[in-house]
Structure 1
Amino acid sequence: MPWSNQTGGGRPGGNNGGPTGGPWGQPPRGPGGPPGGGGGGGGNQPPDLEEMLRRGQDRLKNIIPGGGPGGGGGGMQIGAAGLGIVAVLLGGLYLFSSAYQVEADELAVETVFGVPRNDVNEAGLHFAFWPFERVDKVNIGVRQVNIGSSGRGGSQQGLMLSGDQNIVDVTFSVQYDVNVPKDFLFNVNDPTGMVEEVAESAMREIVGRRPAQDIFRDDRQGIAQDVREITQSILDSYGTGIGIRALNIEDVAPPAKVADAFDEVQRAEQNEDQFQEEANRYSNKVLGEARGESAQIREDAAGYKSRIVQEAEGEAARFISVYEQYAKAPEVTRKRLFLETMEGVLRDSNKVIMESGGNGQGGTGVVPYLPLPEIGKRANSTNNGGTN
């Protein structure tokens, strides 16, 4: 060792009281002698590095199988084997640190020297060789952001001006997920905040075009669809990689300060609808009855017309038939007509038939004057009395 010759030799005499010459102020050990004993010096000796290395090699032999005793060549073999084991351990540790797991609801994007790759790693075990590659994971599950106040008197975020100059408080929710992980990870700093701001802006635009009645009840679904389309269009133009899955309008209310007045208006509108419905029912009832009566009158008129026409046609046909007979025998027909007419005239009158003589006087033995009407009345009264 070089440290053995730093003083140029040992101390003469070998006693412990002379000057020392070792690097630690002690006399060096003499050749072949034990430490602290003969060969030129006693007392404390410096540590021998060769002895320490030999002891370490012996211990390593006992630990490593197949090491066995040997000279200097054996020590070199043991040192190479140790380095190999260390290299294998370091390699395994490096591979272990480079492996990463992607869960079922995640996607991973690898970057090489900070530049993201175009391909996306799905669920499973993958490797990224550090420090050249880095991995960024993103959850692809559906997320939800709520916009506006949850009730009256809450946040001012949901207060919007409608197209007919009314103020409404709109509460709605937006559900979104990740369409393009690369854009989502590297183009957007605050995805939730961006979705919230874009959706709120789109809602204000659509509500500002429509009357308040549409957002309250008439066309709430149509407004939600329009807001969803505008929100998705703006997010796509920014390259956010976000897809809007659903947009639901949960509540629409007037501002708290005018809530009572608005409720009165709503009740008045409901009463108006009720009165209109009752008026329509009454109108339909009256119109139905009037239509029924008019139809009945028309049917009666048509029946009367048909009857009169048929009677007239029958009388005309009868007259024509009589005229035809009259044309064949006028005297007979004339006499027949006279007799039928007199029969109709005298049918209900009191009649007395007296046979006259040849000299113009009454019949023989008959009183010229008799109260015939009185006799008739008496006869009728007698018949009636007998019947009763």
Structure 2
Amino acid sequence: VAVELRFGKPKAELSQPGLHYHWWPVETVETANIAEQLVDIGGGGATSGNSSGLMLTGDQNIVNVQFSVAYQVSDPRAYLFDVSDPEGMLQQVAESAMREAVGRRPAQDIFRDDRQGIAASVREIIQTTLDGYKAGLNVNAVSIEDAAPPREVADAFDEVQRAEQDEDKFVEQANQYSNQKLGQARGAAAQIREDAAAYKNRVVQEAEGEAQRFISVYDEYAKAPDVTRRRLYLETMEKVLKDSNKVIVEQGNGQGVVPYLPLPALQPKAPPPATTGGAQ
């Protein structure tokens, strides 16, 4: 688009592409490209003489950042007449904003963990600053193309990265071992609890059964004390005399041929063990 000036003062309306005329030298024209444009910032090292990409992170590491800013003119009059060098100002503001965002974060964020978050933060800072300067520019996007340690310390930085990766691997292995042992211990504890619960139920049921049997015996005893007492006596004597040697003696004067009957003698005797050796 174009901005027409009359006696050096910009007109209110903008001239779109097409055929126009003006009264020279009373009227002049200034043009502005409103298409989206891209500016690349950073990427240089200390040896190249361009240190715009070298930045200090929040954890005191130096990184070399290369990024680009996509922008377009939103207010041609402000772009042409309010600032003297809009592109140069945009580059300085973008570099300053990137340094501010990187300086608040650890190096891992700019390397791989949170590039998108840093780019969004940088875009917001740039746009706020440009609006304050009334530069007439709108920042569409910020893209971090590369972030790496300086070439002078790249080898040492790689060693640190490998050490951190080894640390993460060992920690992961330790966590896996801990989880495995913890799972086994929990399984064993659950088994012990199940066994204890089963034992408890068995003992309780046996006790309840004994109590119920006692109550039933007591109920029968309450109904017929003499009969129950006699039955309990006979059952007890049966248990006591079942495995003992017994002799039956006839009462009275002993009129029979055999006054007593040795019951153990009536039991068949076990045969003697067979000898394996010869006769002596």
TM-score (norm 2): 0.85
Task: Give the aligned partner of residue 77 of structure 2.
Answer: 182
Structure 2 CA distance for partners of 1:239 and 1:314, relative to 1, 3 Å? same
Give how far 1:251 is off.
1.5
Task: Give the aligned partner of residue 219 of structure 1.
Answer: 114
- Give me the whole-angstrom Cα distance separating, in 2, the residues matched to 1:119 and 1:205: 39
Give how far 1:136 is off.
2.0
Q: Which amino acid aligns with 2:23?
A: F
- Give me the whole-angstrom Cα distance separating, in 2, the residues matched to 1:141 and 1:131: 29
Q: Which amino acid aligns with 2:218?
A: Y
Q: Which amino acid aligns with 2:135?
A: T
Match of 1:135 among 10, 29, 33: 29
Match of 2:12 among 98, 114, 118: 118
C-alpha contact (below 8 Å) 2:247/2:260 kept by paired residues? no
Give how far 1:266 is off.
0.7
C-alpha contact (below 8 Å) 1:153/1:256 kept by paired residues? no
- Give me the whole-angstrom Cα distance separating, in 2, the residues matched to 1:274 and 1:370: 84
SS in 2 for 1:129: coil
1:171 aligns with 2:38: no
C-alpha contact (below 8 Å) 1:232/1:244 kept by paired residues? yes
Task: Give the aligned partner of residue 277 of structure 2.
Answer: none
Structure 2 CA distance for partners of 1:345 and 1:127, relative to 1, 3 Å? farther
- Give me the whole-angstrom Cα distance separating, in 2, the residues matched to 1:231 and 1:215: 18
1:238 aligns with 2:133: yes
C-alpha contact (below 8 Å) 1:113/1:132 kept by paired residues? yes
Task: Give the aligned partner of residue 185 of structure 2.
Answer: 290
C-alpha contact (below 8 Å) 1:153/1:255 kept by paired residues? no
Q: Percent of aligned positions with the same letter in both sequences? A: 59
Q: Which amino acid aligns with 1:142?
A: E
Between Structure 1 and Structure 2, how many residues are aligned?
272
Q: Which moved more, 1:256-265 or 1:320-329?
A: 320-329
* CA offset digits 1:105-148 (Å, max 9, x no partner): xx111111221112112233333233322222222111111111
Task: Give the aligned partner of residue 148 of structure 1.
Answer: 42
Task: Give the aligned partner of residue 359 of structure 1.
Answer: 253
- Give me the whole-angstrom Cα distance separating, in 2, the residues matched to 1:160 and 1:291: 51
SS in 2 for 1:240: coil
C-alpha contact (below 8 Å) 1:164/1:211 kept by paired residues? yes
- Give me the whole-angstrom Cα distance separating, in 1, the residues matched to 2:268 and 2:137: 125
Structure 2 CA distance for partners of 1:132 and 1:275, relative to 1, 3 Å? same
Q: Which amino acid aligns with 1:129?
A: W
- Which 5+ residue runs of structure 2 have no aligned equivalent? 274-280
Give how far 1:351 is off.
5.5
Structure 2 CA distance for partners of 1:142 and 1:373, relative to 1, 3 Å? farther
Structure 2 CA distance for partners of 1:305 and 1:354, relative to 1, 3 Å? same
Structure 2 CA distance for partners of 1:282 and 1:373, relative to 1, 3 Å? farther
Structure 2 CA distance for partners of 1:374 and 1:344, relative to 1, 3 Å? closer
Match of 1:311 among 192, 206, 215: 206
C-alpha contact (below 8 Å) 2:73/2:137 kept by paired residues? yes
Structure 2 CA distance for partners of 1:289 and 1:151, relative to 1, 3 Å? farther
SS in 2 for 1:139: coil
Give how far 1:354 is off.
4.1
Give how far 1:212 is off.
2.4
* More strand per residue: 2
1:377 aligns with 2:279: no
Give how far 1:182 is off.
1.1
C-alpha contact (below 8 Å) 1:152/1:253 kept by paired residues? no
- Give me the whole-angstrom Cα distance separating, in 1, the residues matched to 2:195 and 2:166: 43
SS in 1 for 2:84: coil
Give how far 1:245 is off.
0.7
- Give me the whole-angstrom Cα distance separating, in 2, the residues matched to 1:263 and 1:317: 80
C-alpha contact (below 8 Å) 2:57/2:107 kept by paired residues? yes
Structure with larger Rg: 1
SS in 2 for 1:120: strand
- Give me the whole-angstrom Cα distance separating, in 2, the residues matched to 1:168 and 1:252: 7
Give how far 1:252 is off.
1.5
Task: Give the aligned partner of residue 275 of structure 1.
Answer: 170
Give how far 1:214 is off.
2.8
* CA offset digits 1:320-345 (Å, max 9, x no partner): 22123223433322221122223334
Give how far 1:179 is off.
0.4
Give how far 1:370 is off.
9.3
- Give me the whole-angstrom Cα distance separating, in 2, the residues matched to 1:301 and 1:168: 62
Structure 2 CA distance for partners of 1:321 and 1:152, relative to 1, 3 Å? farther
- Which 5+ residue runs of structure 1 have no aligned equivalent? 1-106, 382-388
- Give me the whole-angstrom Cα distance separating, in 2, the residues matched to 1:371 and 1:115: 144
- Give me the whole-angstrom Cα distance separating, in 2, the residues matched to 1:143 and 1:333: 112
Q: Which amino acid aligns with 1:148?
A: G
